[in-house]
Chain A
Amino acid sequence: MARNRTSVPSLLVLALLALAALAAACASSPELPAGLLEEPSAVEENTPLGGEALTQRKLEMKRAYKDLVHFHVTFESLHQRKDRNGLILFSEFVQTYMGSHLAPLLRNDWQSEHPEVMGLDANLRFIQADVLMQMNDPSAVQDAIDEIERRFRGRENMLVDYPIGDQSPLGQALSVLRDRKWKG
């Protein structure tokens, strides 16, 4: 998170740190043969999980959903109290959370198609879009809407937990979301 800290490391310290990092790189162990530790391929990412791994993933998604509900409530509170500084600080936090934690969790295509997690996946995407709306980021909301449309085409009748605290068919929930995007 980028914030104005009261004690910013001086240029000298930064330079020393850079030198130390360079020295550490030079003195590192023998290199690994190339290709042994590559990022997972698209095929691996699209492989549905099963067993304990799937259970863990479900837990992780449920936890993320609950986290986002709490973020949503906090945004509501900050907006209602017109707490501008609080909104800035908290938006940065949520943005980082979404980038570092939520995005990897929602990256895989199979989750939106797997019968055990597709509901969770859709719910997470809707609440993420709602929270993005509270962060006044309409373009990110539109991206989330597009992504939901792409992933769930043909499943507009599937029930999702949106609007928050309610349930509605996915197609209708998308309409609500689009409507809210402009109303704020």
Chain B
Amino acid sequence: MKAITASLAVALALVAWTSARAQEPDTWATYLDYAYVYSSADRDALAARLDQYGAEAGRSLEQYIIQHYQAKESRGYDESETRREAIAYLLDYLSRGEPDSLEKSEEVIRSLEGRLSRHENRYWYHYILAHDALRRGRHFDFVGEVLDLWLSVVVPLENPYEALQTLALDDSPSSGFAAALPYVYENVARLILLKSPEMGVDTDLDPLGAIVRLLADGRVGAHPDVIPPEASSKDYLDRIVARLDGPESDAGSLTFTLALFEASKYHDQSRALLASNGLDGKTVEAIRVASGAYQAALDRADTVQGEAAVYTRALRQLGEIYAAKQRLGVDPEVEMPFTIEGAIEVYDKLHEGRDDGWRKLGYRMTGRRSYIEAMRGLWEEIQESTLNASDYYLDRAAKNPHLADEYSRNAARLFSRYLTFFSEYATGEGKEGIPESAYFAAHEAARGVGDAYLAYAMNPRSSEIDLAIQHYRVGLKLFPFDRRIWSALTNALERQGRESDYMELVRPAAEMVTRSRSVDTWIDNDEPGAERIAILRRAFSDSLAMMYLGFADATGVDELKRSLEDLYATREETRVKLASLVARRDGQAAADAIEPLSPPASPDPDGDPRVGPRREWDAAELGQLNREITEASALLERLDNQIEARTRTLPLYEAALTTDGLAAELRARRDHPLHTLLRRMYHESREASPGGSDRS
């Protein structure tokens, strides 16, 4: 009985409270009428906003739903009330993720199916059904609802909105739902770009590519007075459309673009973790998620264009992992479904389409430039990941001497793979798809093979030393402006006792520079780095300077200068000595002509027989004097030659040393202008070589 009395009291209190509330203006009704303004905020922001509205209205949305809608036993038909109820349930679902609320929202909005002549009703009808389709994972229904929303709400409202705006009436209370158009654009954009990936609807979205393009074309972000730019999804939308229409597309597929974008986000997250945590468990997991997302994007790709886009990004991640392993000195197990060989296969397919087939590969809409850009982008990632992986093995070889032979040979294999790839495509017909930096990278790879065998391997075989020498020569030809490769070659030759072959082996590389039209033009036009290239070209035209480049050590310049000073001193001594010898010989001859020789009465026992009292020289003494004069003269001549050569060459060599650092600059900057010169030099030399095939 007590319980019944208590229940009755509570019920009466509730009725009284509800009745009092009924007299107040319905604040929530207003909030729900303008829900198109805030409904597409992310869950946390939406929940915070609804909490704030609840505080202002004196009851939460949940309470409002219970008291206003659920408490009603029968609902009298009221279009606006029905719409608000459906919106209230939708907001509850969006802010709390409660699926029952969405089901309720769908049920209520369907009761408006006979009243869809009103744009506002149509908007919420399709918007709610689109959310329902997303929740149920019904891809085609989702696409259909969004297309319907566009046709039945956006298209009819665009002209009225423009007219209202022209007359500054878009803020008028009686402008109706037309004034909501900027929000409708924004909400549709968020629904497609943010909500569908979030809900896992990631296939069959391609017809919505049209809507995304329409939204980006002067719609989203076009009303900063209504939606401030910082609150708009315009930037994100523009990036998506740029991807759709760019080289990283899959023949314009929205499904693929969203998948690749999603993967890029995971990649960015793993990169941030790598920077902050190193290669710890959390980072490795993030890398695994990102590479899984790249794999998902690859699965969505229907064209070679799409495959190339995925491989380009996935290989960047691979390169980053090797660089991190080397930098951090750790070697965790990292799952990575992408390989350099896989990327090379994709590049092969791209190359196959070089004449007309590129359109069929997916670039019909984006054009040939985009095709070339994609090829170059993929190449750069193949190149960088190969170099990073090789460097990682060299580093391990240096740190683990007992495994140095194994690691250094791993590095050599990777470097060689890149060189094979390079030589296959760096031809007249393939060069268009090769980036400028590929030529310097080939130099790095060639030098890397030599270093792997000679500087890192503990016991290189004779055949490997031969290979190292050959690769140093290739490296020299590709980039002769790095002094260290000249000395690396002499060291290699020394190991085989072939130092004398040095000039013969390096001369072609030097002549390639001194005779190059490209180098000439580069210097004449004062292109970037022209001054340093001119210095090196002068050095390459002097065989002694080339000897210095190969055999002298940079730290020995002072030593070389000192030896020149010694030469000057020696020459002076020799000159004095020669003068004295000549004077003696000439003096004797003069004396012989004036007075005849007579033997001294008593010779000075301590005196120099040559300057002592005159005596007649015998033929042997005179012969000796003449030999000494001849020798001194020859020495003086040799010294003159040496001084002349060194005086001419040392400044050239010294100047050449000032150009040190070019290689480091090119390695650090893949967009360095000098890469272009290397490319021109390489193809120029191929054209000039017998059987060269670069004339295209």
Binding site for B on A (CB under 8 A): 1, 3, 5-7, 9, 17, 20-21, 52, 56, 59-60, 63, 66-67, 70-71, 73-74, 76-78, 80-83, 85-86, 89-90, 93, 96-97, 100-101
Alpha-carbon distance A26/B27, docked complex (angstroms): 36
Return B237 CB to nearest CB of chain A, in Å: 13
Q: Which residues of B contact A70 (CB under 8 A)?
A: 210, 213-214, 217
Contact with A along B206-225 (1 / 0, CB 8 A): 11011001100100000000
**Are A6 and B113 in contact, with the CB atoms below 8 A?**
no
Q: In the bound complex, do residue A6 and residue B138 qualify as a contact, i.e. CB atoms below 8 Å apart?
A: yes
Q: Is the CB of B166 within 8 A of A52?
A: yes
| Cβ contacts B362-385/A at 8 Å (1 or 0 each) | 101100000000000000000000
Q: Considering the complex, give the chain B residue whose CB is closest to the CB of A67.
A: B214
On whether the beta carbons of B364 and A76 are closer than 8 Å, the reply is: yes
A80 x B148 contact (CB < 8 A): no
Complex-state Cα separation, A159 to B604, whole angstroms? 123
Q: Which interface residue of B162, B207, B217, B302 has the most chain A CB atoms within 10 A?
A: B207
Q: Which B residue sits closest to A87, measured CB to CB?
A: B207
Q: Which of A56, A73, A93, A96 has the most CB of B within 10 A?
A: A93
Main secondary structure of the interface of A (DSSP, over half): helix
Q: Which of B53-61, B151-159, B553-561, B627-635 contacts A (4 or more CB under 8 A)?
A: B151-159
Chain A residues, Cβ within 8 Å of B114: 17, 20-21
Q: Are B364 and A1 in contact (CB under 8 A)?
A: no
Q: What CA separation (Å) do A23 and B250 show in the bound complex?
A: 54
Instruction: Report the nearest B residue to A92, measured CB to CB.
Output: B147
5 of the cross-chain contacts (CB-CB < 8 Å) are: A9-B110, A70-B213, A77-B253, A80-B362, A93-B150
Q: Please give the distance in Å from A28's CB to the nearest CB on chain B.
A: 14
Rounded to whole angstroms, the CA-CA distance of A6 and B129 in the bound complex is 11
Which of A5, A66, A81, A89 has its CB near the most chain B CB atoms (within 10 A)?
A: A81
Residue from B206, B303, B362 in contact with A78 in the complex, judged by beta carbons closer than 8 Å: B206
Q: With an 8 A cutoff between CB atoms, is B278 at the interface?
A: no
Q: How far is the CB of A68 from chain B (nearest CB, A)?
A: 10
Give Cα distance in the complex from A154 to B210, angstroms.
Answer: 36
Contact of A9 among B113, B133, B204 (CB under 8 A): B113
Which residues of the other chain, A, contact B251 by a CB distance below 8 angstroms? 76-77, 80-81
Which residue from B159, B217, B364 sits with its C-beta under 8 Å from A80? B364
Give me the 10 closest cross-chain CB pairs, A-B, nearest first. Answer: A77-B252, A90-B207, A74-B210, A70-B213, A80-B251, A93-B147, A81-B302, A86-B206, A17-B114, A3-B144
Q: How far is the CA of A90 from the CA of B163 in the complex (A)?
A: 29
- For residue B81, CB closer than 8 A to chain A, the reply is no
Bound together, the chains give a CA A17 to CA B303 distance in angstroms of 48
Beyond known contacts A3-B144, A73-B210, A77-B206: 18 more, CB 8 A cutoff: A1-B144, A1-B151, A20-B114, A60-B159, A73-B245, A74-B252, A76-B364, A77-B251, A77-B253, A80-B252, A81-B206, A81-B302, A81-B303, A86-B206, A93-B210, A97-B151, A97-B155, A100-B151
Please tell me if B140 contacts chain A, counting CB pairs below 8 Å. yes
Closest A-chain residue to B147, C-beta based? A93
- Give min CB distance, A89 to chain B, whole Å: 5
Residues of B within 8 A of A21 (CB): 114
- Cβ contact of A73, chosen from B147, B213, B302, cutoff 8 A: B213
Contact partners of A59 in chain B: CB under 8 A: 162
CB-contact partner of A56 in B148, B163, B364, under 8 A: B163
The answer on a CB contact under 8 Å between B207 and A86 is yes
Given A17-B114, A89-B140, A89-B143: A83 and B206 interface contact (C-beta under 8 Å)? yes
> Interface code B641-653, partner A: CB below 8 Å = 1, 0 otherwise?
0000000000000
Chain B residues within 8 Å of A1, by CB:
144, 147-148, 151
Residue from B207, B250, B302 within 8 A of A82 (CB atoms):
B302
In the bound complex, do residue A80 and residue B303 qualify as a contact, i.e. CB atoms below 8 Å apart?
yes
What bracket does the count of chain B residues touching chain A fall in?
35 or more
Among B144, B206, B217, the residue within 8 A (CB) of A66 is B217
* B141: interface (CB < 8 Å): yes
What is the minimal beta-carbon distance from B513 to any residue of chain A, in angstroms?
Answer: 45
Q: How far is the CA of A82 from the CA of B303 in the complex (A)?
A: 11
Q: A60-B159, A93-B151 are in contact. Are A86 and B365 (CB under 8 A)?
A: no
Residues of B near A85 (CB, < 8 A) are 140, 204
Let me know if B21 is at the binding interface, CB within 8 A.
no
Which residues in A have their C-beta under 8 angstroms from that of B206?
Answer: 74, 77-78, 81, 83, 86, 90
Residues of B within 8 A of A86 (CB): 204, 206-207
Q: Hey, which chain B residues are within 8 Å of A96, CB to CB? A: 151
B408-429 interface with A by 8 A CB criterion: none
- On chain B, the residues within 8 Å of A93 by CB distance are 147, 150-151, 207, 210
CA gap between A72 and B154 in the complex, in Å? 19
Asked if B136 lies at the interface with its beta carbon under 8 angstroms from chain A, I say: yes
Residues of chain A contacted by B138 (CB below 8 angstroms): 6
Q: Which residue of B lies closest to A52 (CB)?
A: B166
B216's closest neighbor in chain A, by CB?
A70
Distance, CA A97 to CA B210, complexed state (A): 13
In the bound complex, residues from chain A placing their C-beta under 8 Å from that of B214 are 67, 70
Partner of B207, one of A9, A78, A80: A78
**Residue of A at shortest CB range from B213?**
A70
Question: A39 to nearest B CB, angstroms?
Answer: 18
A20: chain B residues at CB < 8 Å are: 114
> Which residues of chain B are near A73, meaning CB under 8 Å?
209-210, 213, 245, 252, 365
B144, B162, B302 — most chain A CB neighbours (10 Å): B144
Which of A52, A60, A67, A77 is in CB contact (< 8 Å) with B209? Answer: A77
Q: Which chain A positions have C-beta within 8 A of B155?
A: 97, 100-101
On chain A, the residues within 8 Å of B140 by CB distance are 3, 85, 89
Q: How far is the CB of A171 from chain B (nearest CB, A)?
A: 27
Asked if B210 and A17 make an inter-chain contact with CB atoms under 8 angstroms apart, the answer reads no
User: Could you tell me the distance between the alpha carbons of A71 and B250 in the complex, rounded to whole angstroms?
Assistant: 17
Residues in A neighbouring B217, C-beta threshold 8 A: 66, 70
Interface centre among B159, B303, B364 (most CB of A within 10 A): B159
A110 to B390, CA, bound (A): 72
Q: Complex Cα distance A67/B207, Å?
A: 14
Residues of B within 8 A of A76 (CB): 251-252, 364-365
- In the bound assembly, the distance between CA atoms of A3 and B303 in angstroms comes to 29
Residue of A with least CB distance to B217: A66
Given A17-B113, A80-B362, also A74-B207 (CB < 8 A): yes
Bound complex: CA A83 to CA B204 (Å)? 8
Distance, CA A21 to CA B147, complexed state (A): 27
| Residue in B closest to A83 when the chains form the complex, CB atoms | B206
Once bound together, how far apart are the Cα atoms of A56 and B158, in whole Å?
11
Which residue in chain B gives the minimum CB-CB distance to A80? B251
Q: Known contacts being A52-B166, A81-B251, A89-B140, is A74 close to B362, with CB within 8 Å?
A: no
In the assembled complex, the Cα of A101 lies from the Cα of B214 at a distance in Å of: 15
A156, chain B: closest CB distance, angstroms? 30
**What is the bound-complex CA distance between A76 and B251, given in angstroms?**
8
Residues of A within 8 A of B209 (CB): 73-74, 77
Alpha-carbon distance between A74 and B114 when the two chains are bound, in angstroms? 33
Residues of B within 8 A of A74 (CB): 206-207, 209-210, 213, 252
Measured in the bound complex, the distance between the Cα atoms of B251 and A9 in whole Å is: 38
Say whether A5 contacts B141, CB under 8 Å. Answer: yes
In the complex, chain A residues whose CB is within 8 Å of the CB of B144: 1, 3, 5, 89
Tell me which residues across on chain B come within 8 A of A6, comparing CB atoms.
133, 136, 138, 141
Smallest Cβ distance from B611 to chain A, in angstroms?
104
Q: How far is the CB of B343 from chain A (nearest CB, A)?
A: 22
Given known A-B contacts A1-B144, A17-B113, A17-B114, A81 and B365 have beta carbons under 8 A apart: no
Across the interface, which residues of A come within 8 angstroms of B151, CB to CB?
A: 1, 93, 96-97, 100
Separation of A71 and B204 alpha carbons in the complex (Å):
17
